[in-house]
């Protein structure tokens, strides 16, 4: 028994000692080599992530600085009294010298500072507005409608500004949707900002009027309250009841003629045709029709070669681009685009079929934008101040539509719903149409703040309130037997801070 115990204890000690044996030198070397290979493999990813993060921060900073700089240029030039000199359109080192509102000689110029090009603002002293700047280019349009060099400062009507920021690196540049007749900072590419600002044009004279028509104003069979100057370059018909609170009321019989403003829509005929460039930067590409399923939270730029269908309760932080139609088929859909990208671009139509659609970016339809759902809200964020852009028509058919940006149509704007509110958040036009603007007789309680521009404008519904100005060839607020309360009052802010419109 004693021998058995000693023998087992001996075996147990040998087992413990054997289990305490450490790693061999070969095992240690192999482990260190393996760890080294793993670190070598993943280190480029970490460096890439760090670099990408750094570049993203830089791009955001450059973008913000450039946006602020362009806003400064636009604000100063809108109030300029005279252009003294300006560089030609093919010169990337742009320079413009002008007399500001206080008759102070002022200059914006791209200059080299040490080894970097920056945008300088010069009066009695020089300030750096933004940098680095790859190019600052100016273009001009003259009173006679031409835009060719050489520059003739005395006859400049408007100035176009293109500001490209960066560090001289090549980056993808998308053709801008050039709707700069009312877009303050129009940029849909990664590094380009572009805008037009009116310097000398009939707009300044026209902005003194609440209503100005190229031909006739028809107030027959209506009940209207008008505050401000009214003028028809041909006839004013007013057999209805008009309470003209203040201002003048004139037409051709008074031997008064006011230069009518003109928006040249021919430059914008093909403005939407390059939307396919979005495919180059899309996060998701679908080669046929695609349906966004209900109750989804998504992000990114979606490029769809067919039709896009969006079901209920979809929340997208990004943009939908479809070569055909974009159709909102469910209630409670919301889209918040990144930076200044549009919310929706459709190669044919944008159709909002259901209720409570919310967009914080512009809706662009190459053929048409149709609002058929109730309580649609389009409230652009960031620098955007445009809600809807259509290559042809815009139709607002249901109640409760709200827009805080400009509605632009190459042809007609049709207002059919009740309780429509168009109130741009900045001093920009409310509606611009190359064709007609028509309010249906059954459309009541239209509330508009801002300038309205169209070929022929008709207001037929009751309870229409406009705080701004109306410019058209013909204005018709007659209802042929039905007295329609119409209230139009002048907004003096348009003279203090003229909107972005080119004649």
Q: How far apart are CA 151 and CA 425, in angstroms?
A: 35
Give the pLDDT score at 368: 94
Q: Residue 395: left if φ>0, alpha if ψ -120 to 50, beta else—which one?
A: beta
Give the pLDDT score at 22: 61
pLDDT tens for residues 269-282? 344 556 777 888 88
Q: How far apart are CA 309 and CA 290, in angstroms?
A: 6
Q: How far apart are CA 492 and CA 496, in angstroms?
A: 7
Considering the entire predicted model, what is its pTM? Answer: 0.64
Question: Is residue 422 predicted with pLDDT exceeding 90?
Answer: yes
For the chain, the domains span 52-201, 204-496
- Over residues 263-270, mean pLDDT: 52
Nearest to 192 by CA among 88, 318, 95, 59: 59
Q: How far apart are CA 276 and CA 262, in angstroms?
A: 31
Buried b (16+ CB within 10 A) or exposed e, 287-306: eeebebeeeeebeebbbbbe
Which one is predicted more confidently, 374 or 14? 374
Tokens at residue 481, please? 């037997």
Tokens 């169209």, located at residue: 454
Q: How far apart are CA 202 and CA 503, in angstroms?
A: 7
150 — pLDDT class (breaks 50, 70, 90): low
- Over residues 150-178, mean pLDDT: 55
136 DSSP β-pair partners: 93, 163
Contacting residues for 259 by C-beta, under 8 A, at least 6 apart: 202, 205, 206
Question: Is residue 419 predicted with pLDDT exceeding 60?
Answer: yes
Most confident of 15-24, 161-170, 418-427: 418-427
Strand ranges for 399-446 from DSSP E: 402-403, 406-409, 413-415, 421-422, 431-433, 437-439
Tokens at residue 340, please? 């200044």
Percent of the chain with pLDDT strictly greater than 90: 25
Contacts of 337-342 spanning 24+ positions with Cβ under 8 A: 337/361, 338/301, 339/63, 339/382, 340/185, 340/187, 340/188, 340/382, 340/383, 340/384, 341/188, 341/301, 342/177, 342/188
- Average model confidence (pLDDT) for the chain? 76
Q: Sheet containing 95-99: give its strands across.
A: 82-86, 95-99, 105-113, 116-122, 126-130
Tokens at residue 67, please? 């946006």
pLDDT tens for residues 55-114? 456 666 666 777 778 778 877 877 777 778 888 767 888 898 888 878 889 999 999 888
- Between 77-91, 174-188, 406-420, 462-476, the lowest mean confidence (pLDDT) is in 174-188
- DSSP state letters, 260-305: PP---GGGGTTTTTTGGGGGGG-SEEESS-EEE-TT-EEEEEEEES
Which one is predicted more confidently, 500 or 225? 225
Which one is predicted more confidently, 162 or 203? 162
Question: Is residue 316 predicted with pLDDT exceeding 70?
Answer: yes
**Could you tell me if 388 and 407 are in contact, meaning their C-beta atoms sit under 8 angstroms apart?**
yes
Q: Are strands 192-198 and 209-213 parallel, antiparallel or unpaired?
A: unpaired
Q: How far apart are CA 310 and CA 327, in angstroms?
A: 6
Buried b (16+ CB within 10 A) or exposed e, 114-147: eeebbbbbeeeeeeebbbbbbbbbbbbbbeeeee
Answer positive or negative: Cα dihedral of 26, 31, 37, 39: negative
Which one is predicted more confidently, 236 or 399? 399
**Could you tell me if 321 and 363 are in contact, meaning their C-beta atoms sit under 8 angstroms apart?**
no
Nearest to 203 by CA among 182, 177, 234: 182
Q: Is 332 helix (H, G, I), strand (E, B) or coil?
A: coil
Give the pLDDT score at 311: 95
Nearest to 342 by CA among 395, 401, 408, 397: 408
């Amino acid at each position: 028994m004693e021998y058995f115990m000693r023998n087992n204890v001996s075996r147990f000690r040998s087992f413990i000692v054997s289990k305490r044996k450490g790693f061999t030198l070969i095992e240690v070397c192999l482990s260190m080599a393996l760890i080294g290979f793993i670190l070598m493999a993943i280190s480029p990813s970490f460096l890439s992530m760090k670099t990408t993060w750094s570049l993203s921060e830089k791009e955001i900073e450059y973008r913000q600085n450039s946006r602020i700089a362009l806003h400064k240029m636009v604000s100063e030039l809108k109030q300029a009294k005279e252009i003294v000199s300006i560089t030609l359109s093919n010169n990337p080192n742009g320079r413009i010298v002008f007399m500001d509102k206080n008759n102070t000689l002022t200059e914006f110029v791209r200059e080299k500072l040490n080894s970097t090009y920056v945008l300088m603002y010069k009066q009695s002293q020089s300030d750096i507005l933004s940098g680095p700047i790859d190019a600052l280019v100016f273009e001009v349009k003259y009173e006679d409608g031409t835009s060719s060099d050489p520059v003739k400062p005395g006859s400049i009507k408007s100035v176009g500004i293109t500001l490209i920021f960066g560090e001289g690196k090549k980056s993808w540049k998308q053709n801008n949707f050039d709707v700069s007749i009312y877009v303050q900072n129009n940029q849909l590419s990664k590094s380009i900002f572009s805008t037009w600002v009116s310097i000398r044009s009939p707009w300044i004279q026209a902005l003194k009027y609440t209503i100005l028509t190229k031909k006739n104003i028809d107030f027959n069979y209506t009940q209207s309250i008008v505050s401000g100057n009214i003028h028809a370059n041909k006839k004013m018909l007013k057999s209805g009841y008009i309470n003209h609170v203040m201002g003048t009321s004139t037409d051709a019989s008074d031997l008064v003629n006011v230069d009518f403003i003109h928006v040249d829509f021919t430059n914008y005929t093909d403005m939407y045709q390059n939307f396919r460039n979005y495919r180059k930067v899309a996060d998701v590409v679908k080669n046929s029709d695609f349906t966004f399923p209900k109750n989804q939270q998504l992000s990114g730029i979606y490029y769809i070669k067919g039709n896009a269908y969006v079901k209920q309760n979809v929340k997208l932080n990004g943009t939908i681009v479809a070569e055909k139609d974009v159709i909102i088929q469910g209630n409670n859909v919301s889209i918040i685009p990144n930076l200044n990208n549009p919310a929706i671009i459709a190669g044919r139509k944008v159709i909002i079929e259901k209720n409570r659609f919310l967009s914080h970016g512009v809706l662009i339809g190459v053929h048409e934008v149709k609002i058929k759902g109730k309580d649609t809200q389009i409230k652009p964020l960031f620098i955007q101040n445009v809600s809807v852009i259509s290559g042809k028509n815009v139709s607002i058919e249901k109640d409760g539509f709200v827009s805080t940006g400009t509605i632009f149509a190459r042809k007609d704007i049709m207002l059919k719903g009740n309780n429509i509110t168009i109130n741009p958040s900045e001093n920009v036009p409310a509606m611009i149409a190359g064709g007609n603007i028509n309010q249906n007789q059954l459309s009541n309680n239209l509330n508009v703040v801002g300038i309205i521009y169209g070929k022929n404008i008709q207001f037929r519904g009751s309870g229409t309130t406009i705080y701004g100005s109306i410019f058209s060839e013909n204005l018709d607020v007659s209802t042929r037997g039905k007295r329609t309360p119409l209230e139009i009052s002048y907004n003096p802010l348009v003279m203090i801070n003229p909107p972005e419109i080119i004649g």
